[in-house]
A and B are shown apart, each in its own frame.
Chain A
Amino acid sequence: MNIFLRELRAYRKSVLIWALSLSLLSVIFLMLFPAFTKDTLASQKVIEHFPLAIRQALDISLQYFFTIYGFFAYLLTFVGLAGAVQAMNIGVGIISKEVSGKTADFLLTKPVSRAAVITSKLLAAFGLILITNIVFSLVSLVAANIISTTKFDNNIFALTSATMFLIQIFFLALGILTSVIIPKIKSAISVSLPVVFSFFIIGTLGVILGNDIVKYVSPFKFFDTNYIISHKSYDPKYLMIEAVFIVVAIAISYIVYTKKDVKAAV
């Protein structure tokens, strides 16, 4: 419990900055929605001139697309990216900082098992992510309700905004795994940034170029808005992939962390 509280306290400023910046970004973005609605109207006029076959083909995706969900989902591409950086940073940092700050000796000579150390840290990291998401989702939901001119389903909106949470816990697990495997990480961000952006680029570029395999590789592409809107839930296939990955990553982290040598801090 003491380690858990200590970590929450150590990260309180950082989590505050993250939660507020992401929320602010969301509010600014949602404020652009009215202007976007004008563009969607213009688009709908364009569509009316299309042949029927094409119209039907387009219709399915576009009808969701022009709603506030579709618009918000676009924001989530970037909020998800930023959130992934935050999560991976916490994941990498929360364990490796004891090594880079040379405090591992202090902590691990206390009467506490390594499994308990990693558990406390995991829970603290999870708590930080949870706080970020609660703030972000609530602010976004309130802002959307104020800004949107049409009625919309709060549940779908919440499901959409919670994709950030799912992306984040993926990268949190990846970060923890990375930090127990790489022996000495001097700066968490120089590890997490390239990794997160690689996944982002693989996902985004893959979709632009029509590569379907990337959907299974990049968590940024796991939770498709169209699917969420039409099914009011996430695609179980991807939830499974994510769950398996997280369980495996965390399990390996426990095994490695409880066995590894702690180098002398000189």
Chain B
Amino acid sequence: MNIIETKKLTKYYGNSPGIIDLDLSVEQGEIFGFIGPNGAGKSTTIRTLLGLIRPTGGSATIFGKDVVKFSPEINEEVGYLPSEVFYYDDMRAIDLLKYSGSFYKKDQKVIAKRINDLAAYLDLDLKKKIDDLSYGNKKKVGIIQGLLHQPKLIILDEPTGGLDPLMQQRFFALLKEENKKGATILFSSHILSEVQKLCDRVAIIKDGKIIKVERIDSLIENTNKRFKLETAVKVDKSRFTGLTGISDLVITDNSISFLYRGKINDVTKIIASLNLTNMLVEEPDLEEIFLHYYATD
């Protein structure tokens, strides 16, 4: 069963479209990346899934239940962390988290323990007032309120802003652990390296439409790798003739650079016969792939 499934999901804000005919399915147990630049429709999709806004057309289900009709029921098993966290200023962190926990049917003692564990792990002082917390610490409160009920689906909307690299690492580790325990994760971001680090599959969204859904590894596999070789002497161009999938070949006195897409074995055989002083093979990052999709217009 798909955890999230949308069919021709459409949302218009007045006359301007937010998302158009969006078809998306997220399978049980995967970490699904959702990438696209600002204004592409990521948040609109997520807010529709959460029942915060109502679709203009199409439908969406989570756990097989319609998001408009069963929003409260669905939310029992969903954890959500938005990009900007805003909480009740007058509460202490612990008050907010307990209040947050009080909405769920789970055992409150288990939740309380979970709050403490997570706070210790993320290094957050629970006694402080929300108002006095820094941006990053508020974010930690956000992470905890999203995970304290051990949701089956975790929805993250550009969640990493404000976290320092160490915290980001802990946060990702936490997500991976939840994922191992069976949680499905929808992770929206415009920072591609994060998505690359964390996700199994990714959907690329542009102008309210999904333009590609692919496994992260095949997305990377199916693209060119850049080879940068340094040689002792100048190499003749003819050495590379007959190799299919090579492009952008530039040879200078003691350097060679080209893009290659095909069987690695074929290219390494040729390289092995050269007198190398240094060699570098670069994976294309999502950035390049991303630009590829966005550069078309």
A106, B86: Cβ atoms closer than 8 Å: yes
A266 within 8 A of B: yes
Interchain CB contact under 8 A, B103 and A111 = yes
Determine if B99 is an interface residue (Cβ-Cβ < 8 Å): yes
Given A103-B87, A105-B86, A265-B82, A6 and B72 touching (CB < 8 A)? no
Q: Is A241 an interface residue (CB 8 A)?
A: no
Contact at B72–A101, with CB atoms within 8 Å?
Answer: no
Q: What residues of chain A lie closer than 8 Å to B288, measured between beta carbons?
A: none
Assuming the A-B contacts A2-B102, A109-B75, A112-B72, are A264 and B86 also in contact, with contact meaning beta carbons closer than 8 angstroms in the complex? no
Dominant SS at the B interface?
loop
A interface footprint on B44-77 (CB within 8 Å = 1, 0 otherwise) = 0001001111100000000000000001111111
Q: Which of B47, B76, B78, B84 contacts A262 (CB 8 A)?
A: B47
**Is A261 a contact partner of B53 (Cβ separation < 8 A)?**
yes
| A186→B250 CA distance, assembly (Å) | 62
Contacts of B104 in A (CB 8 A): 110-111
The answer on a CB contact under 8 Å between A103 and B103 is no
Taking CB atoms, residues of chain B closer than 8 Å to A112 are 72, 75, 103
Q: Is the CB of B51 within 8 A of A108?
A: yes
Asked whether A116 is an interface residue with its Cβ less than 8 Å from the other chain, the reply is yes
Contact between chains at A106 and B87 (CB < 8 Å): yes
In the complex, A266 Cα to B54 Cα: how many Å?
19
Residue of B whose beta carbon sits closest to that of A106 = B87
Contacts of A111 in B (CB 8 A): 72-77, 103-105
Q: Main SS of chain A's interface residues?
A: loop
Q: Which residues of A contact B83 (CB under 8 A)?
A: 266
A110 adjacent to B100 (CB under 8 Å): yes
A113 contacts chain B at the CB level, 8 A cutoff: yes
The 8 A CB mask of A1-40 against B (1 = contact, 0 = none) is: 0100010001000000000000000000000000000000
Q: B287 on the interface (CB 8 Å rule)?
A: no
Query: In the complex, how many angstroms separate the beta carbon of B149 from the nearest chain A beta carbon?
Result: 9
| Complex interface: chain A residues within 8 A of B76 (CB) | 111
Find out whether the CB atom of B47 lies under 8 angstroms from the CB atom of A2. no
Which one, B47, B77, B145, contacts A264 given CB within 8 A? Answer: B47
CB-nearest residue of chain A to B48: A261
What residues of chain B lie closer than 8 Å to A2, measured between beta carbons?
A: 99, 102-103
Contacting pair A101 B89 (CB below 8 A): yes
Q: In the complex, given contacts A2-B103, A112-B103, A265-B86, what are 10 additional A-B residue pairs having Cβ atoms less than 8 angstroms apart?
A: A2-B99, A101-B86, A105-B80, A109-B75, A110-B100, A111-B103, A113-B72, A116-B72, A259-B54, A265-B84
A-binding residues in B (CB < 8 A): 43, 47, 50-54, 71-78, 80, 82-84, 86-90, 99-100, 102-105, 145
On A, residues with C-beta under 8 Å from B are 2, 6, 10, 101-106, 108-113, 116, 259-262, 264-266
